[in-house]
Amino acid sequence: MISAVRDALNVVSMNKTLDPVDEAGWGDLRALGHRMLDEMFSGMEEVRERPVWQPMPDTVRGALAGEPVPYQGQGAETVYAEFVENVLPYPTGNTHPRYFGWVKGTGTPLGMLADMLAAGMNPHMAGFDQAPKLVELQVLKWLGQLMGFPAATSGLLTSGGTMANLTGLNVGRFALAGYDVRAEGLAGHPQMRIYCSNETHSWVWKTAELLGLGRAGVRAIGVDAAYRMDVSALRSAIVEDRAAGLHPICVIGTAGTVNTGATDDLATLADLCAEQKLWFHVDGAFGALAYLSDEMKPMLRGMERADSLAFDLHKWGYLPFEVGCVLVRDPEMHRAAFATAASYLTEMDRGPAAGGMTFAERGVELSRGFKALKVWMSLKAHGVEALREVIEQNIAQAHYLGGLIDEARELELMAPVTMNVVCLRYRITGADERQLNALNQEIVMRVQESGVAVPSSTLLEGRFAIRVAIVNQRSRKEDFDMLVQAVLEAGRAVVRETA
Ligand SMILES: *Cc1c(COP(=O)(O)O)cnc(C)c1O
């Protein structure tokens, strides 16, 4: 018998716990928890007064990188104090009203509270007969309805867009393989092909690798001047691949590309998929949310015909990380693509295992958290109307920013503004593309380091663009004036220094 067990049996108590052990202990933790909440609320209320982002001093890097394993506890007070000193002041910046980098939602105070409640309740979301399961099912039903899908649509909340897209594609591969790909794998069968535009987000490569199709399983199609997939090139590619003995299975359309916010002609892609009997998947990571706006809906027409649709709620849904969603039109196919038979997960007639492992049978993960709560609380507390209004405000802000760029002689727009993404650059007469690339790269870093605003960047046909993606529920009109001012000042300074 190991000594710890022998010792344990010799003492009367086996009451070691990680909870506070008495009333005084609970009282202390409660007081600390209230302080944490107060301080997080204050931070959110005053976020506008802080720099968007700031570099970490060496002391912070040292403190957070070199600490030995803490075998002895330091107490919650001490650790919280260290969090306040070394962690909290150095965030990504995305909670700030002038953060426009990559595509990162702001989060909401209510979302923070909901995540706390979810962690406190700590349900296991593989399925089980429990109220949290009903909350996720309800949320999925609402989201399906809001995206124009039929009532029977299946779905799953995921950690994000990548997982949502992967999940949808896996159902498509299973449905279109033409044989039992789960049983047989891929060996000995013709190479399956999926099609997307070359503006598709990089999740598609990871997914093709994970699904065993390899990068050779993806055929990226060119785009037109508005960065939308060239549908006639797609059609030729499918015909050509079929003739070469390959096996086309899926077309991916994008609603809101990551580079420029462009949306493919989803209705035409839906027609083509119906005609060619291919799985139609739409990546609407942020763009799908624009479907809530009556003004934007026509541009996204066809999205509601997808076999699977992926989108995030931690981007344009403004919720805290992490939460994404995949909708799958055919509920039987969805389940058949993932369900497993394991004796320790067997459904029972009664008790907590009644109803089975509903969500584990819709995706990769078994243990899952209660992400649904923040979606449920936010939709109900704010209402979909409020969400729609803030989304429309972001689109208006993108057009406002586009107007400011048009007016400024030193700036130019690099792509049409169709949604919430604006690509621009600083220009000087007589400079070649290489010089403009270097100049604008320097401008982005200076603006970011100034703490005034955080845009990010991308390359559009080899040309460096300052990229502004607006999924921020805290931004006001003047924040875009300040962004433009910061870009102009940085541009002028770099030009002066290099003259
Ligand atoms: C962000 C994004 C993704 C990936 O979503 P994650 O939530 O970051 O995993 C996929 N596609 C597009 C268009 C995106 O903008």
- Given a cut of 50, the residues of the chain with pLDDT beneath it are none
Q: Check pocket membership of 167 for ligand 1, CB cut-off 6 A.
A: no
Q: Which residues pair with 413 in a beta bridge?
A: 424
Length of the chain: 499
**Ligand 1 nearest atom to the CA of residue 160, by list position:** 7
Mutate to test the pocket of ligand 1, among 92, 103, 202, 260 (most ligand atoms within 8 A of CB): 103
CA 481 to ligand 1 centroid distance, Å: 28
- Calculate how far, in angstroms, residue 324's C-alpha sits from the geometric centre of ligand 1: 9
Residue 270 Cα, ligand 1 centroid: separation in angstroms? 21
Q: Is 258 in the pocket of ligand 1 (CB under 6 A)?
A: yes
Tokens for 330? 């055919």
Q: Tell me the three state secondary structure of residue 69.
A: coil
Encode pLDDT of 403-439 as tens digits.
999 999 999 999 999 999 999 999 999 999 999 999 9
201 lines ligand 1 (CB under 6 A): yes
Q: How high is the pLDDT of residue 257?
A: 97
Ligand 1 atom, smallest distance to 312 CA? 7
Alpha helix (H) ranges present in 100-130? 109-121
Q: Which atom of ligand 1 is nearest to the CA of 314?
A: 7
User: How big is the CA angle at 99 (ends 97 and 100), to the nearest 5 degrees?
Assistant: 120
Residue closest by Cα to atom 15 of ligand 1? 258
Do the Cβ atoms of 92 and 53 come closer than 8 Å? yes
Beta-strand pair 99-100/192-197: unpaired
Please give the C-alpha separations between residue 408 and each of 42, 402, 404, 444, 488, in angstroms, as whole numbers: 37, 10, 6, 17, 9
Backbone angles phi, psi at 458, to 5 degrees: -155, 175
**CB of 286 shorter than 6 A to ligand 1:** yes
* The predicted structure's pLDDT at residue 347: 84
CA of 319 to the centre of ligand 1 (A): 14
**CB of 304 shorter than 6 A to ligand 1:** no
**285 CB near ligand 1 (under 6 Å):** yes
Gap from CA of 243 to ligand 1 centroid (Å): 33
Is residue 308 within 8 Å of residue 172, measured between CB atoms? Answer: yes
Instruction: Cis check for the bond before 322: say yes or no (omega within 30 of 0).
Output: yes
**pLDDT at residue number 343:** 79
CA of 161 to the centre of ligand 1 (A): 5
AA letter at 352? P
